[in-house]
Amino acid sequence: MDYDQVRETDPAVADALEGELERQERTLAMIASENHASEAVLAAQGSVLTNKYAEGYPESRYYAGCEYADDVEQLAIDRATELWGAEHVNVQPHSGTQANQAVYFAMLDPGDKILSLDLTHGGHLSHGHPANFVGQLYDVEQYEVDPETGTIDYEGLRDLAESFDPDIVVSGYSAYPREVEWDRIQAAADAVDAYHLADMAHITGLVAAGVHDSPVGIADFVTGSTHKTIRAGRGGIVMCGDEHADAIDKAVFPGGQGGPLMHNIAGKAVGFGEALDPEFQAYAEQVVENAQALGDRLADHGLSLVSGGTDTHLVLVDLRESHPDLSGGDAEDALAAANIVLNGNTVPGETRSAFDPSGIRAGTAGITTRGFGVEAVEEVADLIYRVVDDHDSEDVIYEVGERVEELCDAHPIYE
């Protein structure tokens, strides 16, 4: 892969693109929300559809010349329907956050009540954090994970729902390693006659492959992003039953967005097609197996895992017990210097700030895409531990960085 055409016109941008390609090839993308899209997805995203306005929906557009835009969007919708089985799918949200916003805009009035998981316990900004407009426009109450188990406190959530009486309960998380019991959250929402929005952004691919239970058919609304555990390029998606289809479509366009990014929708169509291939199921199973191997090995080294392990693509490490003087931010920096790119993350019961939290979050979706299996992942866990445990040693960082480059060379992303 190269950017020769860009270079002819704009060497400065070509330098940045080639630098990023080289960075991705020689480092491990272990930020749990990242992955590597195929060259076919990248090509679709970089296609002539970036030129096309197609406000509206297939066969009902506000612009002429939309016949191929219609084809692409319908392919994305049909494939998404096959992957997740929802009655209605809208593939236009520019991101998972905008998919969530569409649900709020469709179903809530300003001042209505949202019950969602606290960000530091694994929630998401778009679920009602005060820094996000959702937290300012609506009345938000937040539930937490059980401090003992690190897992959702379903009973506590139900009690909170009964006292707070929300209009919508939000489930689905950005730093939660365990399987979500969607039906228990649905029961809590039903008990107070609230809607249930399940944001499966992190596990969209795992759900499509059937390696995580699906919220589709349980929750009233299911949102997701299309670039984390599924490799369909950057974007969002929203699904619902037929009874809410019109409201959701109107909330996406014209409610929250203008022209759909048709080139990204082409990427979604291609990536969803790839996920329908049986190989994708094997990939998703390997993602989880790798995350479990990563967690087990880190735990063997004495690191503390929130919830004790993982059922998904990510592990969340609480550094406070094993390395009380090391913040997640400093661990992130040391690991990045050693070519392992993950992020510092808040942990339940956080005692530091979100800018320099107490944990690190690591995901296996990206390294599994480049062919890492359990053995390689166990070595990666050993390398992570070496850096965490000796984060001030330039020699350790150098040696680990060299070894990571060897592992990356053995597992190229793009041939």
User: Is 243 marked as binding a ligand?
Assistant: yes
> Could you give the angle at the alpha carbon of 194 between the alpha carbons of 157 and 154, nearest 5°?
15
User: Is 354 marked as binding a ligand?
Assistant: yes
The least distance separating ligand DSN from the CB of residue 66, rounded to whole angstroms, comes to 30
The least distance separating ligand DSN from the CB of residue 313, rounded to whole angstroms, comes to 11
DSSP 303: P
DSSP 63-125: SS--HHHHHHHHHHHHHHHHHH--SEEE---SSHHHHHHHHHHHH--TT-EEEEE-GGGT--G
Residues 123/117, Cβ–Cβ less than 8 Å:
yes
Compute the distance between CA of residue 253 and CA of residue 249 in angstroms, rounded to an integer. 6
Cβ closest to ligand DSN, residue 96 vs residue 260:
96
The least distance separating ligand DSN from the CB of residue 64, rounded to whole angstroms, comes to 36
Cβ closest to ligand DSN, residue 33 vs residue 101:
33
Compute the distance between CA of residue 110 and CA of residue 36 in angstroms, rounded to an integer. 38
Residues 190/182, Cβ–Cβ less than 8 Å:
no
User: Is 407 marked as binding a ligand?
Assistant: no
Residue 33 near ligand DSN by CB under 6 A: yes
User: Is 125 marked as binding a ligand?
Assistant: yes
Catalogue the E-assigned strands of 36-124: 56-57, 60-61, 88-90, 113-117
The least distance separating ligand DSN from the CB of residue 363, rounded to whole angstroms, comes to 9
DSSP 311: S
Cβ closest to ligand DSN, residue 174 vs residue 369:
174
Residues 328/344, Cβ–Cβ less than 8 Å:
yes
CA 262 to chain centre: 21
Phi, psi of 149 (to 5 degrees): -100, -20
User: Is 355 marked as binding a ligand?
Assistant: yes
The least distance separating ligand DSN from the CB of residue 129, rounded to whole angstroms, comes to 12
Q: Which residue is nearest to ligand DSN (CB)?
A: 33
Cβ closest to ligand DSN, residue 333 vs residue 389:
333
Beta bridge mates, 108: none
Characterize 15-38 residue by residue with b for buried, 16 or more Cβ atoms within 10 angstroms of its Cβ, and e for exposed.
eebbeeeeebbbbbbbbbbbbbbb
The least distance separating ligand DSN from the CB of residue 306, rounded to whole angstroms, comes to 15
3-state secondary structure of 117: strand
The least distance separating ligand DSN from the CB of residue 7, rounded to whole angstroms, comes to 31
Residue 312 near ligand DSN by CB under 6 A: no
List the x/- string, 238-277, binding to ligand DSN by CB under 6 A. ----------------------------------------
Compute the distance between CA of residue 326 and CA of residue 47 in angstroms, rounded to an integer. 45
Binding residues for ligand DSN, rule CB under 6 A, total: 3
Q: Of 95-154, which residues contact ligand DSN (CB under 6 A)? A: 96
Residue 35 near ligand DSN by CB under 6 A: no
Cβ closest to ligand DSN, residue 61 vs residue 178:
178
DSSP 21-40: HHHHHHSEE--TT-----HH
When computed from its CA atoms, the radius of gyration of the chain, rounded to whole angstroms, is 21
- H-helix or E-strand containing 380? helix 374-389
List the x/- string, 162-181, binding to ligand DSN by CB under 6 A. ------------x-------
The least distance separating ligand DSN from the CB of residue 384, rounded to whole angstroms, comes to 18
Cβ closest to ligand DSN, residue 41 vs residue 99:
99
User: Is 124 marked as binding a ligand?
Assistant: yes
The binding site for ligand DSN (CB under 6 A) comprises 33, 96, 174
Binding site for (6S)-5,6,7,8-tetrahydrofolate: residue ranges? 119, 123-125, 243, 353-355
Binding site: residue ranges? 119, 123-125, 243, 353-355
